[in-house]
Structure 1
Amino acid sequence: TAPAILFLLIPLVLGLVALLGWMMLEPWLRKRPEPRPPVVQVPETGLTALDGPKYRRILVTLDHSRLDRIALAHGAAFARAHDARLLLLHVEEGVTSQIYGELAETAEVQAGRAYFAALAQSVRASGIETELAVLHATRTSAAIINFVRREAPDLLIMGAHGHTGLQDLMFGATINEVRHAVGIPVLIVRE
């Protein structure tokens, strides 16, 4: 019986080795087609006829960090260029805010209100029409998405902290979730 097993086993092993060899070499043996340059169609009237978007309502999300000033600077520049209104949004997600919502009154919430009111006032003082909204929610991304759907801004500007990979899993990936859910352009700014 031993020669019979070898008689079956040797061809089986050789076949598997040949199959493995083919699988490893086949990608290099396959002829690859020559890459074709992309075809770009320019309108007959030329690029000067393309009208850019007109932003009337620009939403800037704020998170009480140093990125607020950067996001606001971009928002103000767009608002001036388009004679647009700025909507400033902060989502309060502390434990007290999650439980009591708009009734939350902690020193942190009060300090946040004062900070955001001062930011809004400084933007108004520069001649830009500005609205401020502070929401209380358990999930920042869901609150931003709902706000965008309700208020219908033309552009969303968000500050990014530069988290990648594992940090996104630990600290959340608000921007990623929001940008996939809203149907408007999203400008992500960093330091």
Structure 2
Amino acid sequence: MYERVLFPTDVGEPPERALEAALDIAERYDAELHVLTVVGTTRVSADVETGPALEQAERTGSATVDTLVERLRERGHERTVGAVVHGRPHDGILSYAKNHDIDLIVMGTHGRTGLDRYLVGSVTEKVVRLSDVPVLTVRHRLEA
């Protein structure tokens, strides 16, 4: 049913519940598991030096993806692929999914509501609305 599963994540700590769900599905269907980080490249004023910041974001994104790919392979899922792309996060995820024939996207969600969601926006929400393939959202655990 699923041959290629995409797990997009921010840099730093991945949403563990979403990662576990993506791994479980990939193992169940013997699917490739793609780990993706999108380095945001929104346009900044011409008088702002963005080169070093972009290079640092690229290094951090690559380190995050490399760490996750290694971790998943150590757990026995050899069919794991890592990638870092540039652009607006939801556009990068959707383009990657289309260009790599992804069958399912598994994403974490922060569970924001109300004004916070409206002002901050949600990459996950945009992907859910615009994706041509199914998107499984996994909510982060709420602190008690």
Partner residue, 1:142:
91
Structure-2 separation of matches of 1:119 and 1:63: 12
Give the conservation status (yes or no) of the 8 Å contact 2:35–2:69: yes
- Of 30, 33, 43, the match for 1:86: 33
Of Structure 1 and Structure 2, the greater strand share is in 2
Structure-2 separation of matches of 1:185 and 1:154: 7
SS at match of 1:163: coil
- AA in 2 matched with 1:59: L
Structure with bigger RCO (C-alpha 8 Å, 6+ apart): 2
> How far has the Cα of 1:166 moved from its partner?
1.1
Q: What percent identity do the matched residue pairs reach?
A: 30
Provide the aligned C-alpha RMSD in A: 2.4
Structure-2 separation of matches of 1:173 and 1:79: 25
- Of 57, 60, 70, the match for 1:121: 70
Determine whether 1:178 maps to 2:117: no
Q: TM-score, normalised by structure 1?
A: 0.62
CA shift in 2, pair 1:105/1:155, >3 Å: same
SS at match of 2:15: helix
Larger-gyration structure (1/2): 1
Determine whether 1:60 maps to 2:10: no
Partner residue, 1:130:
80
SS at match of 2:55: coil
Structure 2: runs of 5 or more not aligned: 44-49
Structure-2 separation of matches of 1:170 and 1:94: 20
CA shift in 2, pair 1:175/1:111, >3 Å: closer
CA shift in 2, pair 1:95/1:178, >3 Å: closer
Q: TM-score, normalised by structure 2?
A: 0.80
Deviations 1:129-163 (A, max 9, x none): 111111121x2111111111111211100110111
Structure 1: runs of 5 or more not aligned: 1-53
Structure-2 separation of matches of 1:132 and 1:111: 13
- AA in 1 matched with 2:19: L
Of Structure 1 and Structure 2, the greater helix share is in 1
CA shift in 2, pair 1:95/1:142, >3 Å: closer
Determine whether 1:72 maps to 2:19: yes
SS at match of 1:144: helix
CA shift in 2, pair 1:161/1:65, >3 Å: farther
> How far has the Cα of 1:93 moved from its partner?
1.5
> How far has the Cα of 1:104 moved from its partner?
3.4
Partner residue, 2:100:
151
Structure-1 separation of matches of 2:119 and 2:2: 34
